[in-house]
Amino acid sequence: MEVVIHSEPAALAQMAADAIADLLARRPDAVIGLATGSSPLSVYDELAARCARGELSFARARGFTLDEYVGLPVDHPERYRTVIERELVSRVDFAPGAVTGPDGSAADIPAACAAYEQAIRDAGGVELQILGIGTDGHIAFNEPGSSLASRTRIKTLTHQTRVDNARFFGGELDAVPTHCLTQGLGTIMAARHIVLLATGTAKAEAVHHLVEGAVSALWPATILQHHPHATVLLDEAAAARLRLASYYRQTYAGKPAWQGI
């Protein structure tokens, strides 16, 4: 696991955008894993700006989102398909239908989850997965207790996650759905490169477990310690509880420029 600590969140967004740009330069038809939540927003801003300047193109790329609420009406602004459309897809040049997500309004939920896994496999798997992390250590919507080998399935959101996400629903806890569909930890682990972003003090405990804690379903993101190419991009506040912070800083400072993340 590579840990990069930077005082400027904008620099972290540049690093993630650079990784996507390098990937698209190598493989214009790459499959990219997209995350919702506030953490990746500055990366999407950066990608939109680069696309507007003609520096990169998603025209041949494909995208898969991580998760979706169950039961939100199709025209709800916080449906993750709508969110990713608003935050990224409509601002770059993805081909129509190139970005898809789990179907939270499917009549047959298990069939929709199996179809989503199959769609990712048929596309050749995810090359680079953008991730955030919840304050309780969840990635996508894999809440504490999730199987470390799980695949796309329905999950019940924890009270904490619903409280955290109420800000997207006018602060109304009751408006936050109770269930979601989410790629499993096993699904996410199959991506070839994981780039996780975390900023702010509220993430410090989850980041401490993610990077230096014991691998445990209690802190689902810790499974990423088993990933051969996981990059964790942190600001100072999110990195505040890391014991080896100075070693991570020293390592990144001495890294050859050609290596990327």
Rule CB under 6 A: choose which of 9, 33, 132, 220 binds ligand GLP.
132
Q: Which is nearer to ligand GLP, 5 or 238 (CB)?
A: 238
37 binds ligand GLP (CB under 6 A): yes
Instruction: Tell me which DSSP letter residue 94 carries.
Output: P
Measured from the Cβ of residue 131, the count of other Cβ atoms closer than 10 Å reads: 25
Question: With CB under 6 A as the contact rule, which of the stretches 42-50, 69-77, 131-139, 215-223 interacts with ligand GLP?
Answer: 131-139
DSSP 3-state of 34:
strand
The distance of closest approach from Cβ of residue 231 to ligand GLP in the complex, given in angstroms and rounded to an integer, is 15
201 binds ligand GLP (CB under 6 A): no
**Residues contacting residue 47 through CB under 8 Å, at least 6 positions apart:** 17, 20, 56, 88, 91, 92
35 binds ligand GLP (CB under 6 A): yes
Euclidean distance between CA atoms 134 and 198, whole angstroms: 9
- Per-residue tokens: 94: 């993805």
What Å distances lie between residue 202 and 22, 198, 212, CA to CA? 31, 9, 17
Q: Which is nearer to ligand GLP, 66 or 233 (CB)?
A: 66
Rule CB under 6 A: choose which of 140, 188, 194, 232 binds ligand GLP.
140
* Residues designated as active site: 67, 136, 138, 143
DSSP 3-state of 256:
coil
Instruction: Tell me which DSSP letter residue 137 carries.
Output: S
Euclidean distance between CA atoms 128 and 239, whole angstroms: 23
* Structural contact between residues 52 and 107, judged by C-beta atoms closer than 8 angstroms: no
67 binds ligand GLP (CB under 6 A): yes
Q: Which is nearer to ligand GLP, 162 or 192 (CB)?
A: 162
The distance of closest approach from Cβ of residue 58 to ligand GLP in the complex, given in angstroms and rounded to an integer, is 20
Q: Which is nearer to ligand GLP, 30 or 34 (CB)?
A: 34
Contacts with ligand GLP, residue ranges (CB under 6 A): 35-39, 66-67, 132-134, 140-141, 161, 165
